[in-house]
Amino acid sequence: MTAARLGERRHWRGWLAAVAWLLAAVPGTGLAAELDEVLARGELVWAADQEGGGPHVYVDPENPTRLTGFEVELAAMLAAELGVKARFQQGQWDRLPLLLGRAADCVINGFESTPERARDWHCSRPYFAYALQLVARRDSALDSLDALAKEGPRGPWRVGVLTGSAAEIEMRRRSDLAVEVVGYDGTVDCLEQVRGRVLDAVLMDDCIVSFNADRFGELRGVGRPFAGGTYTILTAPDTPRLSKAIDDALGRLITDGRLKALYDRWDLAGRQQMLLLRDATEVPPARRGSLADLIRGALPLLLRSAGMTILLSVASFPLAIIIGLAVAVGRLHGPAWLRPLLAGYVEILRGTPLMLQLYALFFLLPKAGLALPAIVAAILGLAMNYSAYESEIYRAGLKAVPVGQFEAALALGMTKWQSLRHVLVPQAVRIVMPPVTSDFIALFKDTSVCSAITVIELTKRYSVLALSTGRIAELAIVTALLYLAMSWPLSLLSRWFERRLERRSERAPG
Amino acid sequence: MIEVDSLAAIRSGNRILDAVTLTVAEGTVTTLVGPSGGGKSTLLRCLNGLETFAEGRVTIAGHKLVAGEHPPRALERVRRDVGMVFQGFNLFPHLSAIDNVTLAPRIVRGVPPAEARSRGLDLLERVGLSRFAEARPATLSGGQQQRVAIARSLAMEPRVMLFDEPTSALDPQMSAEVLDVIVELARGGQTMVVVTHDHDFARRAATQVVELVAGKVHRTGPAAEILAGAGH
C-alpha cells in the first residue's frame, strides 16, 4: 500500500471513530437492554456514585468492601420484585444518566425529578421526598436564609453545591442572592470545605445533612428546609417495558409498606415520606429548544469557560518552566545534598496522578490551616506537576550543550552560575523549545482535571450544559471546535520553532 | 610570569604529567610540542585550572595554584588574567561575534555595555573581522571563528594567553590566517603558551620550545635547537 493510500485510510478511520463517538454520546441511541434482556441476564444493573455519600449509597466504614445506603437496599428490593439480582455500577454522579443503555439499566442515586430529566430520560414515579437545607459553621455570621440576600463579611457568600443537583439549580436560579455558587462532586467534600472555612455554607438535601450531623458537629442547619422535590429512578427512553416494571414494583413496595419500613430502618421518617409521595405531583417534561437558541444560550458560557482554560494554562505553564529549569540546574550543578531531594521531587510529582495532587492542595491543605482558593490551587497544582516533566526536558537540554561551551565560559573567568545563566541555559532553552511547546499543548488540555476541585473550565462547562440541555452531541462539537481554535495556533507555533531550529542547524558547518 | 614546579597529574591511575617543571618569562612565547598523548593539552589546562593536578604547584600571572586545592573563587581570579583559545573554537552559538567578544568583559569585569562594544569592535578589527560583528558563529568559516575566539579572549585583557592546538581543526589557508594573528600578538609582547604540531609556527614565533614525551619534559630550548632536523 502506498503512503498516500495509507494516509487516506487513516483519515477515514479518524472520521469513523469521530462518528462512532458522537453516536455513543447521543442518549438513547445505544442498544438499551429491555425488560426481557434484564430477565434473561438475571441481573438488574443499577448505577450510582459511591462518592456521592450517605445515606444514599456509600462505602460501609466498618467493611470497606461493602456498599451500603438506603438506595442499595431499594435496588435489591426492586431487583427481587423483577425476579433478578441487583448489580451495582459505579459512575460519576452528574454523568450517571449517560451510562443508561450501555453500562446500566437504571440510575438510582438521589436524582431529583426535573423537567429537563423528564425530557431526556424516562423518570419513574417518585420514591423519596427531599427538601434543601442550608448548612454553615456554628460560629458563622450566616444565621438565616434571608442573610444570603446581602453580602457577608468577605464579599458574596461562597455556597457549595453538588454539581448538577437540584441545590445547584436552585442556587443559580436565585439571582436575588449575594452568593458565589461552587460546584463539587461529593457531598462530604462540600461539608469538609465548610468546616475548613473555604466555603461559607453548603446547600444540600436534608437527608444528607441529618445523616452527616454527628460527623460534622461544628456545623448546623441554617433556617428551615425549603424548595422540596422528589427523587426518581432514571431509565433509558427506549425501554418502556423495563420502566413500567420498575414503576409497578415501586408501587407494590409503597402499598404493602415495605418502602415505609425501609425508610424507618434508615431513620428517614417513613410515614412522613409516604404522605409526601402520595401528594407528589408529576413533573412535566421541558420543551426541547431550537439549535439556534441552544448555541445562543450556551456559547457565552462556553467562551467564558474557555477563558478560564486559557487563564489556567498561561498562568501555570511559565511557573512550571521556571520551577522545572531551577530543578534541572539544581540536579546537574547544585550542591550534592540538594540533588537527591530534587530527584525525589521529580519522581513524586511524575509518579502520582495530577488529580491526586490537586486534591491534596485543595482538600488537604485547609486541614493544615492553609486554605487556597480553588483557582490558586489549580494553577499551583498544574505548575508543580508540569515542572517535574519540564525539569527532565531541561536536564536533557543542558546535557546536550557541548562541554566545551562550559569550559569556554569558565576560561573567560565566569563563575559557574554566570556560565549557566549566560551560556548554557540560553542554549538549552533553544534545544528544548519543540518538546516544551508540545507540553504546553498537553497542559492546556490537562486543565480539564481542575474541575475536580471546583474550577469550571471548558470541559466541565460542557458537561454541565450538555446534561442540563440534553444536547450532548451538538455541544460536544462546539466545545471541540473551541479547543481546536485554542490549541491549533499553539501547534503552528511549535512547528515554526522546529523549522527555525532545523534551518539553523543546516547552516551550521560540519 | 609562569612557574611550573614538579607538576604531576594522575588520571585513572596513570601519570599523565610527571614532575613537569618549566618557566615562562614575561613577553615570551613558549610552544609545547611532542607526540600525541604526551600531556601537552593537560599541562596547558592545568595552567588555568580547567584540570586539576595531584602534585606540584603553578604560579601564573601572580596567582598560585597548589595541588589538591582548587577553590572556585581562586580559579575564577586566575582565569580572568589567563585567556584560553581552544582547538574547537567553542564560540557561543546563540550570540553574534561581537556579543561573544563583549559578554565576559560585561558580566565578569563589569565594563559598561557601550564601552565593551567599542573595545570589542576594535578587537574584531584587529583580527580582521569587523565586517562580521553581527554574524552568528555558524555563518563564519573555521578560521574566522577561531579569530573571533582569539578576540574574545583578548577582550579580558589577559596577562597570559594559552592556545590549545588553535589550528589543528583548520585547513592550511585558514591556519595561516589564524597563525598570522597569533604571530602578530607575539610581536606585540603578549606572553603566551601554545600547544601545536606546527613546527613552522614554532620556528617563526617561539622564544622557547618545550618537548613533552610521556608526560615528562624531554627537552627545553630555543626552537632552532629543539626542532633542528625535524620536519613540518
CATH superfamily, domain A291-507, is MetI-like (1.10.3720.10)
CB contacts under 8 A, B 42-61 vs A, are: 48, 50
Q: What is the pLDDT of residue A464?
A: 80
Predicted pLDDT of residue B229: 63
- pLDDT higher than 50, residue A139: yes
A504 pLDDT higher than 80: no
The answer, for A405 touching chain B at a CB cutoff of 8 Å, is yes
- Tell which residue, B107, B124, B127, has the closest CA to residue B177: B127
Mean pLDDT, residues A374-382 taken together = 94
Question: Helix, strand, coil proportions of chain B in percent (round to 5)?
Answer: 40, 25, 35
Q: Is the pLDDT of residue A88 over 90?
A: yes
ipTM, two decimals, is: 0.94
Q: Do A414 and B107 touch (CB under 8 A)?
A: yes
Count of A-B CB contacts under 8 Å: 68
From A416's Cα to the closest Cα of chain B, the distance in A is 9
Q: State pLDDT tens for residues A303-343.
A: 999 999 999 999 999 999 999 999 999 999 999 999 999 99
**Separation of alpha carbons B46 and B212, rounded Å:** 15
| Cβ-based contacts of A407 with chain B (< 8 Å) | 50, 86, 90
Question: What are the pLDDT digits (tens) for A444-497?
Answer: 888 989 988 888 889 888 888 887 777 888 899 999 999 999 888 878 887 887
How far away is chain B from the Cα of A439, in angstroms, using its nearest Cα? 24
Q: Give the pLDDT confidence score for residue A399 in this predicted structure.
A: 95
Radius of gyration of chain B (CA): 17
Question: How many Å apart are CA A156 and CA A36, to the nearest integer?
Answer: 53
**pLDDT confidence of residue A138:** 92
Residues sharing a CB contact under 8 Å with residue B219, sequence separation 6 or more, in sequence order: B209, B210, B211, B226
Please give the pLDDT value at position A407: 95
Say yes or no: B223 contacts chain A, CB-CB below 8 A: no
Q: Collapsing DSSP states into helix, strand and coil, what is residue A165?
A: coil
pLDDT of residue A93: 86
* Inter-chain CB proximity B79 and A411 less than 8 Å: yes
Q: Which of residues 181-200 of B touch A (CB under 8 A)?
A: none
Is CATH 3.40.190.10 correct for A30-127+232-279?
yes
Domains in chain B (CATH in brackets) are 2-85+139-226 (3.40.50.300)
Contact A408 B86 (CB under 8 A): yes
pLDDT digits (tens, 9 = 90+) for B77-134: 999 999 999 999 999 999 999 999 999 999 999 999 999 999 999 999 999 999 999 9
**Three cell numbers written together for B68:** 589538591
The mean per-residue pLDDT over the stretch A97-126 comes to: 90
pLDDT confidence tier of residue B230, bands split at 50, 70 and 90 = low
Give domain limits for chain A. Answer: 30-127+232-279, 129-230, 291-507
From A314, A291, A329, select the one nearest A424 (Cα to Cα).
A329
Smallest Cα distance from A410 to chain B, Å:
7
Contact B50 A410 (CB under 8 A): yes
Residue A94 has pLDDT above 90, yes or no: no
The answer to whether A408 contacts chain B (CB < 8 Å) is yes
Min Cα separation A140/chain B (Å):
58
Measured between beta carbons, the chain A residues lying within 8 angstroms of B104 are 412-414
Q: Distance between CA A405 and CA A422 in Å, rounded? A: 11
More confident residue, B218 or A510: B218
The per-residue pLDDT of chain A, averaged, comes to 87
pLDDT mean over A39-55: 90
Give the model's confidence band at A24: pLDDT under 50 very low, under 70 low, under 90 confident, else very high.
Answer: very low
Q: State whether A413 and B93 contact (CB < 8 Å).
A: no
- Which overall architecture, per CATH, does domain A129-230 show? 3-Layer(aba) Sandwich (3.40)
The reply to whether A352 touches chain B by the CB within 8 Å rule is no
- Cell readout for B131 is 565586517
Q: Which residues of A touch B99 (CB under 8 A)?
A: none
pLDDT of A42 above 80 = yes
State the DSSP code for B107.
I
| Distance from C-alpha of A17 to C-alpha of A12, rounded to nearest angstrom | 9
Which residues in chain A are closer than 8 Å to B80, comparing Cβ atoms? Answer: 413
Q: Which helix (H) or strand (E) holds A213?
A: none
pLDDT given for residue A183 in this prediction: 87
What is the per-residue pLDDT for A31?
56
| Arithmetic mean of pLDDT, A18-35 | 56
Which B positions 93-112 lie with beta carbon below 8 A of chain A?
93-94, 103-104, 107-109
Across the interface, do A411 and B142 touch by the CB < 8 Å criterion? no
Three cell numbers, residue A66: 461493602
From A1-5, A108-112, B93-97, the region with the lowest mean pLDDT = A1-5
CA distance B54 to chain A (A): 20
Contact of A404 with chain B, judged by CB distance below 8 Å, is answered with yes
Burial of residue B71 (number of CB atoms within 10 Å: 0-12, 13-18, 19+): exposed
Model confidence over A163-200: pLDDT tens digits? Answer: 888 899 899 888 899 999 998 888 888 898 899 888 99
Domain A30-127+232-279 matches domain A129-230 at the CATH topology level: yes
Q: Assess whether pLDDT exceeds 80 at residue B204.
A: yes
The three three-digit cell numbers of residue B135, written as one number: 554574524
A264-292 pLDDT, tens digit each: 999 998 888 888 888 887 778 877 778 88
List CB contacts (< 8 A) between B86 and chain A: 404, 407-408, 411
Residue to substitute from A333, A401, A406, A412, interface B, most B β-carbons within 10 A: A412
Residue A248: is it exposed, middle or buried by C-beta count within 10 angstroms (0-12/13-18/19+)?
A: middle
Q: B50 vs A411: CB contact, 8 Å cut-off?
A: yes
Q: Which of A67-76, A247-256, B58-67, B170-179 has the lowest mean pLDDT?
A: B170-179
